[in-house]
Amino acid sequence: MPKFKIVVSDPKEGRTQTIELEGPAAKPLIGRELGDIIDGGILGLPKVKVKITGGTDKDGIPMRMDVHGGGKKKVILSGGIGFKPKTKGERRRKLVRGRVITEDTYLLNMVILHEEEAAAKAEAAQ
């Protein structure tokens, strides 16, 4: 059974809220990817669109947008999510998770898109 802890932030209000989904309520999120825009009704936020921006698994391994699939992979990173270089030009092989949400995902970060932002993003996608 999937169980997710979801942190939803509202940039207009400057607030965040934590939502926990478990079992059948969490099933619609399985297979989604980082960057997907979904209906807030899944989270109990009617009339709102939310964008999936990030997440981690139960061990704290972060999800990265540029890694395909949903499993753990060791990739060479020079910065960004999952690695902060200590010296200029440093690269290191780090363990990260892919961009697809699986049952192993524990925490998801999402941001509320307001009407004008959602319309602009939908037009850009077409």
Q: For residue range 75-119, what is the model confidence (pLDDT) as tens digits?
A: 999 999 999 999 999 999 999 999 999 999 999 999 999 766 556
What global pTM score does this model have?
0.85
pLDDT confidence band for 5 (50 / 70 / 90)? very high
Listed range (7-11, 46-50, 93-97, 118-122) with the worst mean pLDDT: 118-122
Q: Tell me the residue ranges of DSSP E strands in the chain.
A: 3-10, 15-22, 37-39, 49-57, 72-77, 92-97, 105-113
Residue 21 one-letter amino acid: L
User: Is the pLDDT score of 13 beyond 90?
Assistant: no
Which of 24, 17, 38, 29 lies closest to 106 in space, CA to CA? 29
Listed range (3-7, 20-24, 98-102, 118-122) with the worst mean pLDDT: 118-122
Tell me, what's the pLDDT at 108?
A: 95
Give the pairing of strands 3-10 and 105-113. Answer: parallel
Q: If you ran DSSP here, which 8-state letter would residue 62 be given?
A: B
32 to each of 25, 46, 86, how far by Cα in Å?
14, 19, 33
